[in-house]
């Protein structure tokens, strides 16, 4: 089975061809510009390639309600030019194949459940910490949607007593994304995170905020694995501090070996590495193809 996949991001679209085993056979990266320019390059990539289905994991917010007149749209995004864009409809106008569609982080969670760090489980959280913070969730084998879809990157967090930073989220100020995403790190410290690798106070503060989020996810959804990816999480020194904070905040309330004894196996980086999003698209394509 030949499957197409699109990881649609605010800065780049990654397109690929793969198979039902999650193997990526070919891929290309396309800078995100205007919808017309970006879609044309996406179409050019897939035009001569045989595929049995296409999966799209997109930045959002997106409309996932199949009964809605705007199903398959990117809706109220602050990304310039991309407000109310029909991404699924555009692809359908060129490709007569089944199309699976979800948020980029839900897709990545599905890919990790199928082939990555959550393989063999029926629930997980996939969290990306980069330009923004997004979280996808699968519980009892089903991707979590709902009224819209989870926006767990925008939950409210308790401020650190010694952190004067006002927050960078244009909607909520000091929500999780406003305090801990890549732009927040750069604005707070005056440098990009990659230049601050050796400054322990940067990552201690980052772990302070991210741990609060993980504890909330654990308490609300009880996932069987927490997978953390994105550019910020490439600073691997965060992981030990983060795990210590999670244990401290839970304070013995969750009596499970994954927390008490095996937290290194419970909070992990993506098993699919930088391919989690694209493999997520393959997983969406595989899933929608199985329905036909």
The structural domains of the chain, ordered by start, are 2-104 (3.30.420.40), 117-269 (3.30.420.40)
Residues contacting 168, CB < 8 A, separation 6+: 177, 178, 179, 181, 183, 184, 187
Average pLDDT score over residue span 35-43: 98
Average pLDDT over the chain, rounded to whole?
96
d(CA 100, CA 88): 9
Residues contacting 189, CB < 8 A, separation 6+: 196, 199, 202
Asked if residues 15 and 65 have their Cβ atoms less than 8 Å apart, the reply is no
Average pLDDT score over residue span 246-267: 97
d(CA 55, CA 48): 17
Cα distances (angstroms) measured from residue 203 to each of 161, 209, 229, 270: 16, 10, 15, 19
* Percentage of the chain modeled with pLDDT above 90: 94
pLDDT at 77 over 90: no
Band (pLDDT 50/70/90 cuts) for residue 2 is very high
What is the 3-class SS of 153-209, one letter each residue?
A: HHCECCCCCCCCCCCCECCCECEHHHHHCHHHHHHHHCCCHHHHCCCHHHHHHHHHH
Average pLDDT score over residue span 201-224: 98
- Torsion, CA 144, CA 2, CA 229, CA 77, rounded to 10: -60
Among the listed residues 178, 159, 179, the one whose alpha carbon sits nearest the alpha carbon of residue 170: 178
142-194 pLDDT, tens digit each: 999 988 899 999 999 999 999 999 999 999 999 999 999 999 999 999 999 99
Asked if residues 11 and 131 have their Cβ atoms less than 8 Å apart, the reply is yes
Which residue carries 């406003």 as its tokens?
A: 178
pLDDT at 113 over 90: yes
d(CA 261, CA 286): 36
What tokens appear for 13 in the block? 């679209």
pLDDT of 78: 79
Pairing state of beta strands 53-58 and 99-103?
A: parallel
């Amino acid at each position: 089975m030949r499957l197409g996949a699109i990881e649609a991001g605010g800065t780049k679209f990654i397109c690929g061809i793969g198979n039902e085993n999650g193997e990526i056979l070919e891929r290309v990266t396309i800078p995100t510009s205007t919808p017309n320019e970006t879609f044309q390059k996406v179409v050019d990539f897939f035009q001569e390639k045989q595929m049995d289905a296409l999966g799209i994991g997109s930045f959002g917010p997106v409309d996932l309600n199949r009964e809605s007149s705007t199903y398959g749209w990117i809706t109220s995004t602050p990304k310039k030019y991309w407000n109310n864009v029909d991404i699924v409809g555009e692809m359908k106008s060129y490709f007569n194949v089944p199309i699976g569609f979800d948020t980029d982080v839900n897709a990545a969670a599905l890919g990790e459940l199928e082939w990555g760090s959550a393989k063999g489980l029926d629930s997980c959280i996939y969290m990306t910490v980069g330009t923004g913070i997004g979280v996808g969730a699968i519980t009892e084998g089903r991707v979590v949607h709902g009224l819209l879809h989870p926006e767990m990157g925008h939950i409210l967090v308790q401020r650190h007593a010694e952190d004067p930073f006002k927050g960078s989220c244009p909607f909520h100020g000091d929500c999780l994304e406003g305090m801990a995403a890549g732009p927040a790190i750069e604005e707070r410290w005056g440098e990009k995170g990659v230049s601050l690798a050796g400054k322990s106070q940067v990552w201690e503060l980052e772990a302070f905020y991210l741990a609060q989020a993980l504890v909330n996810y654990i308490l609300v959804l009880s996932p069987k694995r927490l997978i953390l990816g994105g550019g910020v999480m490439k600073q691997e020194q965060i992981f030990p501090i983060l795990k210590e904070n999670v244990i401290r905040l839970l304070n013995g309330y969750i009596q499970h070996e994954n927390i008490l004894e095996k937290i290194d196996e419970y909070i992990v980086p993506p098993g699919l590495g930088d391919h989690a999003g694209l493999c997520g698209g393959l997983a969406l394509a595989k899933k929608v193809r199985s329905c036909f």
